[in-house]
Amino acid sequence: MKRGKVEPVEAHLVLADGTVFAGEMMGATPEEGFVTGEVVFNTVLSGYQEVVTDPSYAGQIITFTYPHIGNYGVNPDDNESSQPFCRGVVVRELSRRHSNWRATQSLDQMLTSRGISGISGIDTRRLTRHIRNLGAMPGAFGTADIEELKVAAANEPGTDKIDLVKTVTCSETYRVASTGGERKIVAYDFGIKSTILENLSELGEVIVVPADTTAEVVLEMEPDGVFLSNGPGDPEPLGYARENIKKILGEVPIFGICLGHQLLAETLGAKIFKLPFGHHGGNHPVRNLKTGTVEITSQNHNYCVAEGSIEDVEVTHVNLNDGTVAGINCLTVPAFSVQYHPEAGPGPHDSRYLFKKFEHLLDPSNKQEIPDA
């Protein structure tokens, strides 16, 4: 029997300022006729599955600037979390068929099975230019009429001053077995990625704890070091995390990535500000100020550490696109962090040395110079 052609379902994306984009539905059908979230854009050329399953996108609608998405399908090994937490996905053209020996599903099938809605056929170049000019903003998309979408977009609060970490963190402590090292590392799960856990497990056993786990409970585990993970949204509401970090500082070495970097910096006294449209992509050049080398990095964040707002800390890395702080090292206690994702591989492995740097700090008897490249 010949399969009938599936007719596309007309849909629209409407931004909070009233701008309208026409497209077609893909993925899961939204129950209310629309979904809402903060609309951002990501410039990766590949790695769409890792982006969609990154918990740091909670509360956001991801626009892919690359025009053709889904050509190599998806597979369970490349998921960065057990489920996607993004609100939706926007693409110019969804691949009609995928081809890769590792693929088990199409991107459209994965989105549908995970309850994530998407919209294709969007002029993503126009949308990206709009966000670059006016900044990331709330939006709504779906099959509802345009006036209803306008109201939904206007009522969407976005990500400012909202604790999104509590929507992505684990509900209970779990362990990841060592794949090589003998250390014990406690990792705060603010939205931790699977690839980060793979890298940490090479240093030793990793004990992953919920975001609100107290410092006392963590220190009772007698870890060799504490890791502060990536995560979604605004760090301002996360006072509980800063309070725990404050108590851990100086007790054991600390390494932070992305949101963990912002929380460490805030705990040390830094000011945080929101970037106009954030850094979302796999091609951000970052200069290591000690070695002078440039790393090609993966980034996903809307907030940033203000330079010069913190004492007893040296800036170690700078984003060359806009000069913002991309890494810090504390001068009084063993703690450092970066605003990008060294576990990702766009360089392909330009930044993996940071895990070696953390390993160095885990050994208090190590007198050698800490590796910076």
Residues noted as catalytic = 258, 341, 343
Enclosing H/E stretch for 275:
strand 272-288
- Cα separation of 121 and 141, whole Å? 13
Match 């490349």 to its residue by tokens: 78
The closest of 144, 169, 139, 143 to 157, measured between CA atoms, is 139
Dihedral Cα 304, 190, 167, 18, nearest 10 deg: 20
Residue 189's Cα: distance from chain center in Å? 12
- Cα separation of 307 and 323, whole Å? 9
Residue 133's Cα: distance from chain center in Å? 23
Position 187: which residue type?
Answer: A
294-305 vs 325-330, strand pairing mode: unpaired
- Cα separation of 261 and 249, whole Å? 13
Per-residue buried b or exposed e for 225-234, using 16+ beta carbons within 10 Å of the residue's own CB: bbbbbbbbbb
Residue 9's Cα: distance from chain center in Å? 30
CB 166 within 8 A of CB 48: no
DSSP 88-156: EEE-SEE-SS---TT-SB-HHHHHHHTT-EEEES--HHHHHHHHHHH--EEEEEESS-HHHHHHHHHH-
Q: Which two tokens stand for residue 156?
A: 């969407």
